[in-house]
Amino acid sequence: MSRTITIDPVTRLEGHGKITLKTNVQGEVSDAYFSVTQVRGFEKFCEGRPYYEMPSLMARICGICPVSHLIASAKACEAIMSVEIPPTAAKLRRALNLAQTIQSHALSFFYLASPDLLLGMDADPAERNIFGVAKAYPELGRAGIGLRRFGQHMIELLGRKRIHPGWVVPGGVTQPLDPAKRDEILSFIPQAYTDVKLALAAYKQITERFQDEIDSFANFPGLFMSMVNEDGGLEFTDAGLRIIGAAGNILLDNLDARHFDEQIGEAVEPFSYMKFPYYKHLGYPAGTYRVGPLARLNIASHAGTPLADAELIEFKHLANGPVLGSFHYHHARLIEILHGIEVIEQLFSDSSILDKHVRATAGVNRQEGAGIAEAPRGTLMHHYRVDDKGLMTWANLVIATGQNNNAMNKGVLQAAQRYVKGDKLTDGMLNRVEAVIRTFDPCLSCSTHAFGQMPLVIELLAPDGTTLDEISRS
């Protein structure tokens, strides 16, 4: 008899969603859907507001990556203003975006993923959490907390608030960097290096235990997209986009914000509020692609900082061509943390970071503008239209998690076909299906602009749609 399994809510994610697994008459999983079940409508209720309010308004979409929204939004506003921001403002934004990436990746790796990695996918769920990690591996627990605090404290020092700082504005930033704050940030760097090196060493020791998961967690050929700088290096804030194929071949290069929507379409499916972006040239679903740390490291030829470059060489040896297994998102996050610390150290060790010219001003000079930044989870795009007075008439956001939507669905199906057997769900099965999604570190609050935490449900359905089993965590 065929059936449907529902996992609802999926745990240790940001947001709210559910997984539905359909089985055939042989009892094998035949299809899988990752559904995001909430919607907020930021694009709609911003209409009528002045464009310069957008960065602070849109950043409220997310409490984890508000800085990326601030930057993408400010860049869209600057396109409307037709201004180029001062070089020091660009450097400060770059540092702020990396600080956010560090704290977000630390949250993902240490708080959400490390319980599976360090304690095991089949460990007692009562212990399989960050507190269990803290108990079993206190040095790694301290490292995770330390890296998250480093990123958050740096955001607070620069933007005066840990979450939703108002420092990034259209035209640059509101205030130059105070030398005392620069010194304080630099004083945290040595410990941050120690913490991330500890995590990298621990990760490399445990990965061989997870070969089965590496093989079956969203491991398939497909496209990748990310920002890449002019010499092919890793970049998060100011550069064009590149799309590569599964063999590493460049399909599209130097895509800038103005032409983003000419190349990227957004499909919808009836089972989710989250959209399915795709590369128009290949159509949907063939043109769907992955973004985020794995995509960035697959696309960049080098990181441009010595320690991260050494790690990137090792990372690229995992495959002959792009690394296709999404389990390696975890590894990529740690390398990006290391790179972020190095770039912040470089930027803040240069006296030009204290330059007082940090904001350009202008009014409405165009009625349409778009901005792109790399959020921790991948490429983020804000696209606005305004009237003559600068009031918003239309907005569209293309969110990183949405761009991984098709890959997450394929990954859930792949893992479910590997692990879900028989008529009854076990916790180990449930956790592995959830863990596939965790590799992408989705932020469903961002992707549907949904409010609330993200528990998730798994539902098992018969071919006739009857619910046969359901597991729910809250």
Partner 1 sequence: MMSAATPHSANQPRRALLLACGNTLRGDDGVGWCIGCAVEQQLRGYDLTVVRTRQLLPEHAEAISAADVVVFVDCSAVSAAGTVSTILIQRAESLPHTLTHHLDPGSLLRLAHDLYARTPSHAVVVTVGGESFEMTDRLSRTVKAAVPRALEAVRCALLGFPAPETASQAC
The reply to whether 453 sits near partner 1 by the rule CB under 8 A is: yes
Which residues between 234 and 293 bind partner 1 (CB under 8 A)?
A: none
If one asks whether residue 141 binds partner 1 (CB under 8 A), the answer comes out as yes
User: In whole angstroms, what is the distance from residue 80 CA to residue 390 CA?
Assistant: 9
Cβ closer to partner 1: 15 or 171? 15
| Cβ distance to partner 1 smaller for residue 88 or 129 | 129
Residue 211 interacting with partner 1 (CB under 8 A): no
Contact residue for partner 1 among 49, 142, 258, 259 (CB under 8 A): 142
Count how many residues are written for the chain. 474
Helix (H) or strand (E) run with residue 266 in it:
strand 264-267
Report in angstroms how near the CB of residue 163 gets to partner 1 at its nearest: 8
Site string for partner 1, 82-121 (x = CB under 8 A): -----------------------------xx---------
DSSP assigned state of 108: I
Q: Contact with partner 1 (CB under 8 A): which of 41, 87, 138, 363?
A: 138
Q: Is position 428 an interface residue for partner 1 (rule: CB under 8 A)?
A: no
Using CB under 8 A as the binding rule, whether residue 59 contacts partner 1 is answered as no
Nearer Cβ to partner 1, position 33 or 188?
188
Q: Is 160 in the site for partner 1 (CB under 8 A)?
A: no
Which one of 75-83, 122-130, 208-216, 349-357 is the stretch in contact with partner 1 (CB under 8 A)?
Answer: 122-130
Per DSSP (E only), the strands in 14-141 are: 17-23, 29-36
* Beta strand ranges found along 272-418 (DSSP E): 276-279, 289-290, 368-375, 378-386, 392-398
For residue 450, the SS3 value is coil
For residue 11, state whether it binds partner 1 (rule: CB under 8 A): yes
Q: What distance in Å separates the CA atoms of residue 397 and residue 395, rounded to the nearest whole number?
A: 7
**Facing residues of 386 across strands?**
392
Under the binding rule (CB under 8 A), the answer on residue 148 touching partner 1 is: yes
Q: What SS3 class is residue 454?
A: strand
Nearest residue (CB) to partner 1, 130 versus 177: 130
Nearest CA among 294, 229, 280, 230 for reference residue 251? 280
Burial class for 24, CB neighbours closer than 10 Å (0-12, 13-18, 19+): middle
Rounded Cα gap, residues 229 and 239, in angstroms: 5
Phi, psi torsion values for 416, nearest 5 degrees = -65, -40
Q: Please give the Cα distance from 86 to 424 (Å, whole number).
A: 60
> Does 135 sit near partner 1 (CB under 8 A)?
yes
Of 45-53, 136-144, 242-250, 374-382, the segment contacting partner 1 by CB under 8 A is 136-144
Residues within the interface to partner 1 (CB under 8 A) = 11-12, 111-112, 125-126, 129-132, 134-135, 138, 141-142, 145-146, 148-149, 152, 163, 453
